[in-house]
Amino acid sequence: MARETVEILEVGLRDGLQMLDYVVPTESKRAWLEAERLSGVKRFEVASFVPAKILPQMADAAELVQTAKASDVYACALVPNLRGAEGAFAAGVDAVLVPASASAAHSVANVRRTREQMIEAVAEIRTLRDSLGISAHVEVGISTAFGCTLQGDVPEADVVWLAAAAVEAGADGVALADTVGYADPALVRSRILAVRAAIGDRLTGAHFHDTRGLGLANVLAALDVGIRSFDASLGGLGGCPFAPGASGNIATEDLVFMLESMGLDTGIDIDRLIEAQQCLASLLPEETLHGKISGAGLPRNFARRAAA
């Protein structure tokens, strides 16, 4: 009997590296991508297209896209504006991810633009994509969709409104992100159902953090209401700037372990994925990696499957 599939988007090369205070060499990023690709991971968020003087870590964004395409994996890039999208499309991405914060306070603080201005950017990027006659997707990631460190609660109505506005502006897909680790399983279920009621299957994925330990419980809650695409970062890389020592992203290897244990099909060979985590640890020896399965080891009765 065919198992139900779940898609994983590895976001560590962008979300995990972005906060580091030193620049990781392109060769190291390539080695990471290659190790993880060999485990069966097929989708990567490889970089942000932002000016190199603002974020030197991402200066090699176009090279990373080319590496991914040469390896025949899906390459997504974060773009905060039209200029970023121009660079990403020129580099040949499969998708651009435009962040739009549901929290009014966070939007202004984080990208110095209002939510309405971010929706205008989505429309511009969609128009550009269409004018280029390319097939790259325009995805919108709704950050602070479950709460915000600046304003606290983020009303459900704001999230639903922003998701609908993103689709209206031309987004091919919308994902909900728990940017600051405020989500809980009950909120995850209610918010996903509310957004789906508004935009249907344009709601494509979810991005959870493990800052407060609920990352995988939130994934389970989202699975229960039909989400089948999740972001994660190898080794849980991705700091949480306001909580030193706390982890940010859920660890890809723990996520894959949970999904495969439940009988879902990620197409990923977990032994090789754990090897990729060890590769990452050697590439970034200064970083503390998170996640449990790499250290604890697989259950002896774990049903192994080859990478798809």
Check: CB of residue 64 under 8 Å from CB of residue 107.
no
What is the Cα–Cα distance from 178 to 15, expressed in whole angstroms? 13
Q: Does residue 212 touch a copy of itself according to CB under 8 A?
A: yes
Q: Does residue 185 touch a copy of itself according to CB under 8 A?
A: yes
Q: 57 vs 144, which CB is nearer to a copy of itself? A: 144
What is the Cα–Cα distance from 301 to 303, expressed in whole angstroms? 6
Q: Does residue 254 touch a copy of itself according to CB under 8 A?
A: yes
What is the Cα–Cα distance from 105 to 258, expressed in whole angstroms? 35
Check: CB of residue 67 under 8 Å from CB of residue 37.
no
Q: Does residue 222 touch a copy of itself according to CB under 8 A?
A: no
Please tell me the chain's helix, strand, coil percentages from 3-state DSSP, rounded to the nearest 5: 45, 20, 35
| Residues labelled as active-site residues | 240
Q: 26 vs 278, which CB is nearer to a copy of itself? A: 278
| Long-range Cβ contacts of 256-260 (<8 Å, 24+ apart) | 256/8, 256/232, 257/293, 257/298, 258/216, 258/219, 258/220, 259/6, 260/302, 260/303, 260/305
Q: Does residue 296 touch a copy of itself according to CB under 8 A?
A: yes
- Residues 256-275 touching a copy of itself, rule: CB under 8 A, are 257-258, 261-263
Backbone angles phi, psi at 33, to 5 degrees: -60, -45
User: What is the Cα Rg of the chain in Å?
Assistant: 18
CB of 52 to a copy of itself, least distance (A): 32
Q: Tell me which of 32, 74, 182, 208 binds a copy of itself, using CB under 8 A.
A: 182
Q: Does residue 49 touch a copy of itself according to CB under 8 A?
A: no
Q: 177 vs 214, which CB is nearer to a copy of itself? A: 214
Q: Tell me which of 15, 139, 158, 210 binds a copy of itself, using CB under 8 A.
A: 210
With contacts defined by CB under 8 A, name the span among 6-14, 69-77, 161-169, 218-226 that binds a copy of itself.
218-226
Binding site for a copy of itself (CB under 8 A): 147, 149, 152-153, 180-182, 184-187, 210-214, 216-217, 219-221, 224, 240, 243, 245-247, 251, 254, 257-258, 261-263, 291-293, 295-297, 299-301
